[in-house]
Chains A and B, each alone.
Chain A
Amino acid sequence: MISYLTTGQVLPTGSPIHRLDPRTRLLGFLVLLIAFISTSHVGPTFLALMAVIALVALARIPPRYALKSLWLLLPWLIVIVLVQITLGVGNAPGCRSLLAWGPLQLTACTLRSALITLMRFAGLVLLIGLFTWTSPIPSLVRGLEALASPLAWTGLPAHELALVGVIAVRFIPTMALEFERLQKAQRARGADLGGGRGGFLGRVRNTLPLIVPIFVLALQRAERLAEAMEARAYSGGRGRGRYARLHLRRADWLALGLLALFVIIILWT
């Protein structure tokens, strides 16, 4: 059960990417994400893909580990590309025909559009992977809080939202373990015998009664946590101090500079 929690787990390789300020990483992630989604040309997509690959290498992610995430999505990619070609996505009058077979036509435009899709998906998967492999949640939350705090005047409760996020992330593994234990306790008491009514429905029927204890446990836990927070003088976000100040260092300015350059090139092409 715990194994599924490792997907998207941080790989602490101590690379320059890991050492960047979380705000820099967040900004970079957003810019690349927008680049992939918004362009519809081969050049910029290719450029963005190359940038992501370079970043993965710079983050010292083992290539096999990085490729594993792509490998899982490969069947979907192939299906999408085939569908695109069959439907002739990207076809326009005046496109050079490369192959024709009955009503199906492969034009240079279709091929180009399929290529963009391929690069876009590969790039996005790697980008999301890269982000999770290099960004521990606490620093991420701190970065988000810092980026959102200028919006405080709009009434956005940046601190409270960040705290909710932190607590959610903090208790996901605990609750997953708890659920696993409940399921095992139930199995140990014969839940998997099923009396001939096993299968998917049986599993659903066995899981339903677990929802009540899971909620009861979560509520009790929440009560105890609230008490512990109160005992440590918590009274909302106002007037709180801060343990860690975020500092932009030279590497961050360099990264931000490269990012700006990237944006200019993309816009220009």
Chain B
Amino acid sequence: MAAAKPLIEIHDLIHTYKGNGTASINALQGISLTFRPGEFVAIVGANGSGKTTLARHLNALLLPTRGQVLVDGTDTRNRASWPATRSQVAMVFQRPEDQIVATTVEDDVAFGPENLGLSTSEIQSRVRWALGTVGMWDLRHRPPHLLSAGQQQRVATAGALAMRPRCLVLDEATAMLDPVGRRELLALLRELHREGLTILLITHWMHEATLAKRVVVLDAGRVAFDGSPRRLFTDLDQLASLGLEPPPMVTLAAEMAHRWPDFPPDLLTLDELAAALLPRLPHDGVAPAYYPALPPTRDTPPVVAVHDLRHTYLAGTPLATAALDGVSLQVHAGETVALLGPTGSGKSTLLQHIAGLLQPQTGQVLVNGQDVNASRTDQRDPAALAQAGDALGRRPVGMLFQQPEQQLFETYVGDDVAFGPRRLGLDRAAVRERVRWAMETAGLPFDTYKDRFTQSLSGGEKRKAALAGVLALHPQVLLLDEPTAGLDPQSRRGLLATLRHLNREQGMTLIIATHTMEDVVALANRAFVLDHGGPVTQGTPRQLFREPDLLVAHGLGVPEVTALMHRLRAAGAKLPADVLTVTEAITAIKGAPA
């Protein structure tokens, strides 16, 4: 094993992107790494640390400015060996839909082997094997746009596997997936690794890095750490100095060492922690201790009321699909309500009805007691005008769509944010005040950013600008569709803080469609679970997380801490079932009688 010939060798790699004019960016500043066959390596680092640039050097998509990259002993500068290099080191990219070339699943998987010039029978057997491995053979005739993001990502993985690579590089391939998609992809990677494939997993998420046998941390284009995840994550000071956040299990384990001096110091995973905690906790089989449930209802009248809403796409054709099937929901002023559900559960459709962008086929949507669709029928109707904006120029409902950074349409940031207020007919000074407030609230200083080109902003900044564009309408109710999807941990924390501020300080009512349980814990006072367009359950996050099995059955999950507590309870430990955060878990475990 130790003598295995290196698969990829990187010697003092420097990569410089030529900027406009004089500015040029050193993305990689002297990296030396060796990857051996059969390794499972996680490559982590903050935005701009050079992860993605490094990945593109591994199969000659980029060539070194200086230094050398050898794949199986061949220099990537050797153009003639590119097909061989690319079939040995295959890649899966971040955006599922942008790497699928063909119009059906099977044709797409065949694309790589076809490029290698293989015989028809060999291509067919590879396609069958690759689709079988990722569990997509039954959907081989589907067009890719009818697949979920998770399924698309598995197709992309099959497309890479069909090249029969020795190494698979995944560049933030889980970022756009829902919990099921993510779980399935990670399980697939572990299985492929067991079968001997080398895996290089590039990720923002530390808990994904704990799956690997080795972690490489990049910081400003240099290798800042290279070693086992255990060594990285159990040294909390070092982790902080690298700007990384410890996974929840590691934080918990560190605290346990204060409670029990003999507690093992290097635990990483839920399984390990459960095994170490169980013998230390009392097992007296007493009834579960729940946190007292907060009354979910409020005295204020509902701002949003949805009654028995139904919506079918392509109604009346053989392709009709029910997106909403009898949904009722009430949201009171000042609440933060999470709409939970896997991809395709009808969350977005419901939000669009509340925003008045879709008309109910049956049922009713009331905002402030007014039928949302009155505005469509007659613009001069007083009720419609109230819908459009009250005397103070407030819109009752604002909506931030999925990946809102793709929906900026003005040239300058300030103009884009001002689009809504201008349509409300406000005067110049008022528009300016609105834009200033909205941009500052969203976290973009007005004077610095108002004259920037929208297309020159970074992804995280664009998302802030898009949020500001909606906030500038001063909505009473803000609808957000997957607001944190695809964000790196730092941007995500910033956005969650902004939303909390809007709700707690500005009294804005929030309705958030999401599949990220951590967002629910951080923000929501109530959650509503949808699946296949129908209601599943609702309650406070605490109530929902008492039944993790129900959530998992509907394509969701619970935070890792909650899962740990359920594991311990199932084994007989006397612990509360509705723990949401690491802090609560620490209190609960420390408070348990020894």
**Contact A221-B423, Cβ < 8 Å, known A181-B401, A212-B409, A230-B61:** no
Which of A169, A188, A213 lies at the interface centre, i.e. has the most chain B CB atoms within 10 A of its CB?
Answer: A188
Contact A224 B95 (CB under 8 A): yes
A9 to B320, CA, bound (A): 13
A230 to B86, CA, bound (A): 8
Contact B406 A231 (CB under 8 A): no
**Contact A233-B82, Cβ < 8 Å, known A187-B357, A243-B123:** yes
Contact A170 B102 (CB under 8 A): yes
Residue of B nearest to A168 (CB): B103
Residue of B nearest to A234 (CB): B115
Q: Which of A97-105, A191-199, A251-259 contacts B (4 or more CB under 8 A)?
A: A191-199
Least Cβ distance of B311 to chain A in Å? 13
Which of A173, A193, A241 is close to B118, meaning CB atoms less than 8 Å apart? A241
**Contact A229-B101, Cβ < 8 Å, known A2-B313, A184-B352, A193-B423:** yes
**Contact A189-B423, Cβ < 8 Å, known A225-B101, A228-B101, A240-B115:** yes
**Contact A169-B410, Cβ < 8 Å, known A193-B423, A233-B116, A241-B117:** no
Contact A224 B98 (CB under 8 A): yes
**Contact A240-B98, Cβ < 8 Å, known A189-B420, A231-B90, A233-B112:** no
Quick check: is A269 within 8 A (CB to CB) of the other chain?
no
Interface residues of B in 86-125 (CB under 8 A from A): 86-87, 90-91, 93, 95, 97-104, 106-107, 110-120, 122-124
**Contact A188-B355, Cβ < 8 Å, known A169-B103, A170-B103:** yes
Which of A184, A189, A209, A227 is close to B93, meaning CB atoms less than 8 Å apart? A227
Contact B407 A181 (CB under 8 A): yes
Contact A228 B123 (CB under 8 A): no
Quick check: is B127 within 8 A (CB to CB) of the other chain?
yes
Contact A232 B160 (CB under 8 A): yes
**Contact A209-B102, Cβ < 8 Å, known A138-B107, A184-B357, A241-B120:** no
Which of B101, B112, B399 is close to A166, meaning CB atoms less than 8 Å apart? B101
Contact B107 A227 (CB under 8 A): no
Quick check: is B280 within 8 A (CB to CB) of the other chain?
no
Contact A194 B423 (CB under 8 A): yes
Q: Across the interface, which residues of A come within 8 angstroms of B163, CB to CB?
A: 232-233
Quick check: is B295 within 8 A (CB to CB) of the other chain?
no
Which of B115, B159, B411, B424 lies at the interface centre, i.e. has the most chain A CB atoms within 10 A of its CB?
Answer: B115
Which of A138, A217, A240 is close to B117, meaning CB atoms less than 8 Å apart? A240
Quick check: is A244 within 8 A (CB to CB) of the other chain?
yes
Contact B407 A11 (CB under 8 A): no
**Contact A138-B97, Cβ < 8 Å, known A233-B112, A241-B123:** no
Contact A190 B424 (CB under 8 A): yes
Residue of B nearest to A236 (CB): B115
**Contact A188-B399, Cβ < 8 Å, known A182-B409, A210-B409:** yes
Contact A243 B388 (CB under 8 A): no
Contact B314 A6 (CB under 8 A): yes
A136 to B470, CA, bound (A): 41
A160 to B119, CA, bound (A): 20
Least Cβ distance of A165 to chain B in Å? 9
A230 to B61, CA, bound (A): 7
Q: Across the interface, which residues of A come within 8 angstroms of B103, CB to CB?
A: 136-138, 141, 166, 169-170
Residue of B nearest to A137 (CB): B103
Q: Across the interface, which residues of B come within 8 angstroms of A224, CB to CB?
A: 93, 95, 98-99
Residue of A nearest to B411 (CB): A212
Contact B114 A240 (CB under 8 A): yes
Which of B56, B100, B111 is close to A234, meaning CB atoms less than 8 Å apart? B111
Contact A242 B423 (CB under 8 A): no
Which of B100, B123, B424 is close to A170, meaning CB atoms less than 8 Å apart? B100
**Contact A11-B318, Cβ < 8 Å, known A188-B399, A210-B409:** yes
Q: Across the interface, which residues of B come within 8 angstroms of A239, CB to CB?
A: 117
- Residues of chain A at the chain B interface (Cβ within 8 Å): 2-3, 6, 9, 11, 65, 136-138, 141, 166-167, 169-170, 173-174, 177-178, 181-182, 184-191, 193-195, 198, 209-210, 212-213, 216-217, 221, 224-225, 227-235, 239-245
Can you list 20 A-B contacts with CB-CB less than 8 angstroms, sorted by A residue number?
A2-B314, A3-B313, A173-B143, A177-B145, A185-B401, A185-B404, A188-B398, A190-B419, A193-B389, A198-B379, A209-B409, A228-B101, A239-B117, A240-B114, A241-B118, A243-B110, A243-B114, A243-B123, A243-B124, A245-B120
